[in-house]
Structure 1
Amino acid sequence: MPQVCLYPKDVAQLTGTGYDAGKRLLQRIRIRLHKPARAYVSVAEFCAYTSLPEAEVTAALNRS
């Protein structure tokens, strides 16, 4: 089953940054989308914010 939501570890792996940077990026996405602090961020929302191709992000998540 494909992964639908992202965690800081996933974001860090995708962007090549550390865990804390992944947390900060997810928080910035939540703020931009007016979501609560602990709300999930979907792959589609992450891709829209970062301008990364959704197909490539999904493929990278399912490889690991």
Structure 2
Amino acid sequence: MKKRICIYPKDVAIITGKTERYGRSLLKRIRERLNKEKHQVVSVSEFCDYIGLDEEEVRRVMM
């Protein structure tokens, strides 16, 4: 099984129970906090560090 490295707004929506729009907004804030450019993606581990969730638990939800 392949594991994805990056996380997308739809993943954030599923994990948080909120909308994809919220997911886009949250990923934008994470990119800003990490000084990433607009075209750069957020990794699952960066997302988990920011939001305070266990990475393995998040990966299970993403499957």
TM-score norm. by structure 1 comes to 0.93
Report matched runs for 1:1-64 at 5 Å.
1-62=2-63
Q: How far 1:56 sits from its partner (Å)?
A: 0.1
Q: How far 1:38 sits from its partner (Å)?
A: 2.1
* Residue segments in structure 1 that go unaligned for 5+ positions in a row: none
Instruction: State the alpha-carbon separation in 1 of the partners of residues 3 and 29 from structure 2.
Output: 24
Moved over 2 A (4+): none
Q: How far 1:42 sits from its partner (Å)?
A: 0.3
Q: How far 1:37 sits from its partner (Å)?
A: 1.2
Instruction: State the alpha-carbon separation in 1 of the partners of residues 17 and 52 from structure 2.
Output: 16
Structure having the larger proportion of residues in strand: 1
User: What RMSD in Å do the two structures reach over aligned CA positions?
Assistant: 0.6
* Residue segments in structure 2 that go unaligned for 5+ positions in a row: none
